[in-house]
């Protein structure tokens, strides 16, 4: 009962974060119009997309570095969360079970895949966001659409990017949930020609990326435009951390049920496979609709708030360092 009460409190806080987005998402188109007047003058289509590509790389590489930092610091929490998604344990129960299976090493199962997968995910998301924003600032056709529509296009693109790297995610999730035994079973199936198992949960993963990416970056872009940047370095970091935490909460609530589906699909290997409908029916039968929608959500809100703060602070800090270096070098 106590855990349920805390869970509902966290959900309410996330809803407040979404409400905050509704207030801040109305970014004035006039600011984009001003940018367009100075940037679109006599630029060819090739120049516009070349500049967008450069900006995407500048945003994507710091994003990849931030993703690597996340993995090293919070892998144990992600393992606990995926185990919760599969079996419906509380955070404490899942942690104790995993720790009892193999100590700290068990909590870091799958890190060899995560150290590549997470930076690639972050690179794709950050690069797409930066590239789309650069196009929005330069291309007259897209400028009236504003931040929200450009971010939705970036969300779809990020989802397609996620499909390319889903085998890494599947291997990582299997190790996190079922350990070495589950991973060996997965590899046996793959060696026997069942490559499709590496793409288990691909649709849920792509949809999760699209649905989660949109509120995260809409809120991030909106708050980033509306909140003034303070001069003191510490206040600048706190500003970035606050933006990341609010964006993360809204994204978590909207995608939690999809992540439950993905983790369960990826870590379940049966001869004929298991459908998403079968997974939904099984979870609802044993834990109810609430268990399906909110399973592991309190852990995710806690973990992703910390993770998103780390990502946003590191990403924006590296971006600002890069911009300062280029400015001093006259690039």
- Phi, psi of 26, deg, nearest 5: -80, 70
Token pair of 184 as six digits? 């060996």
Neighbours of 281 (CB within 10 A): 12
Give the tokens for residue 196.
């499709």
Quick: pLDDT tens for 223-270. 988 888 888 888 988 888 788 788 888 888 899 999 999 999 999 987
Reading the chain (331 residues) residue by residue, the pLDDT tens digits are: 545 554 444 444 443 343 333 333 333 333 333 334 444 444 554 555 555 555 555 555 666 666 677 788 889 999 999 999 999 999 999 999 999 999 999 999 999 899 888 777 767 766 776 677 667 666 555 454 566 677 677 777 777 888 888 999 999 999 999 999 999 999 999 999 889 899 999 999 888 877 887 788 788 888 988 888 888 888 988 888 788 788 888 888 899 999 999 999 999 987 667 899 999 999 999 999 999 999 999 999 888 777 767 767 776 777 777 677 666 665 5
Q: How many C-beta atoms surround the C-beta of residue 30 within 10 A?
A: 8
pLDDT recorded at residue 330 = 58
| Per-residue model confidence (pLDDT) at position 54 | 59
Class of domain 2-324: mainly alpha
Domain boundaries, the chain: 2-324
């Amino acid at each position: 009962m106590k855990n349920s009460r805390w869970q509902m409190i966290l959900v309410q806080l996330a809803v407040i974060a979404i409400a905050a987005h509704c207030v801040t998402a109305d970014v004035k188109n006039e600011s984009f119009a001003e940018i367009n007047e100075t940037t679109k003058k006599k630029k060819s289509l090739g120049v516009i997309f070349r500049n967008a590509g450069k900006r995407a790389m500048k945003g994507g590489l710091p994003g990849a570095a931030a993703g690597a930092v996340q993995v090293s610091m919070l892998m144990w929490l992600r393992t606990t969360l995926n185990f919760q998604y599969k079996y419906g344990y509380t955070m404490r129960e899942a942690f104790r079970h995993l720790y009892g299976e193999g100590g700290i090493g068990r909590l870091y199962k799958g890190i060899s895949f995560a150290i590549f997968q997470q930076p690639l995910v972050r690179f794709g998301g950050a690069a797409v966001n930066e590239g789309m924003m650069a196009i929005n600032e330069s291309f007259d056709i897209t400028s009236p659409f504003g931040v929200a529509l450009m971010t939705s296009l970036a969300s779809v693109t990020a989802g397609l990017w996620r499909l390319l790297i889903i085998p890494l995610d599947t291997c990582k999730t299997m190790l996190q949930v079922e350990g070495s035994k589950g991973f060996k079973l997965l590899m046996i199936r793959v060696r026997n020609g069942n490559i499709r198992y590496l793409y288990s949960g691909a649709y849920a993963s792509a949809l999760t990326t699209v649905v989660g990416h949109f509120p995260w970056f809409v809120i991030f872009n909106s708050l980033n435009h509306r909140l003034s940047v303070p001069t003191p370095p510490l206040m600048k970091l706190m500003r970035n951390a606050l933006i990341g935490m609010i964006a993360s909460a809204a994204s978590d609530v909207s995608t939690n049920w999809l992540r439950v589906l993905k983790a369960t699909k990826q870590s379940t290997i049966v001869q004929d496979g298991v459908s998403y409908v079968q997974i939904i029916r099984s979870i609802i039968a044993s834990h109810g609709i609430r268990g399906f929608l909110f399973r592991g959500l309190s852990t995710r809100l806690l973990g992703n708030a910390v993770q998103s703060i780390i990502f946003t602070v590191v990403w924006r800090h590296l971006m600002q360092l890069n911009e300062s270096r280029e400015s001093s070098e006259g690039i």
